[in-house]
Amino acid sequence: MIDRDLKRSLGQMVKGVQVVGAAHDGTVRAYCSHWVCQVAFEEPILMASVSPKHDTHGLIVASGTFSVSVLAGDQVAEGQYFSYPGRKFRYLAGEYVEDWDGLPVVPGAISYLRCEVFERTPMADHDLFFARITAVREGRLNEPPLLYSSRLGWRVTGDKAREPGTSIRDRLLERLAALPDADLVDADETGADEAPDVATGPG
């Protein structure tokens, strides 16, 4: 069993909420996830962590394809519905699903991605599916995304964390410019490894 403190700490990690769907031989399934993320930039690649216990898992394995619906902040009901096994409710809520080129997606989502799997990696109690994005469909792109964490529950993306016109990068450049020339020593001259580029955001 996972350590209590570790579980509480991991539970503070807030992530976007998606619905992952798949279809094969006439069977259509989808489930709610916050374990989908982009893992490459120049070539658009997603990673989806999927439990073999989900009905959707077997359909992804069989078809090699899945869809991703990025949920908006006003789609908590859809997120909760797809968080439970569909068979529990006998797949009652057909209004939460529509077809997009043979794959199930959630109506009214922010955006939609069609993904083709090229690698599957078993990882403890989940499988990691690495997939190329082969099609995209815009939805309500101006809506704030739905968020979730096991400690904080369902949330909606809110105010910006940084005020427009302010940047730590600019403040660091000002401090750098104020240093005497003697202090500006190249990393190569000190024998240190090459310094990484300054990152401007996550990724």
Identity at 12, one-letter amino acid code: Q
Please give the residue that has the higher pLDDT: either 160 or 76: 76
Contact 6, 150 (CB under 8 A): no
- Residue 202: inside a domain: no
- Residue 199: inside a domain: no
Which domain covers residue 114, as residue numbers? 10-156
Please state, in angstroms and rounded to a whole number, the distance separating the CA atoms of residues 182 and 46. Answer: 46
Whichever domain contains 36, its CATH number is: 2.30.110.10
Please state whether beta strands 103-105 and 153-156 pair in parallel, antiparallel, or not at all (unpaired). Answer: unpaired
Contact 107, 98 (CB under 8 A): yes
For the full predicted model, state whether its pTM sits above 0.95: no
Span 93-127, pLDDT tens digits: 789 999 999 999 999 999 999 999 999 999 999 99
- Residue 99: inside a domain: yes
- Residue 187: inside a domain: no
* 199 secondary structure, DSSP code: P
Q: Give the pLDDT band of residue 147 (cuts 50, 70, 90).
A: very high
Tally of domains within the chain: 1
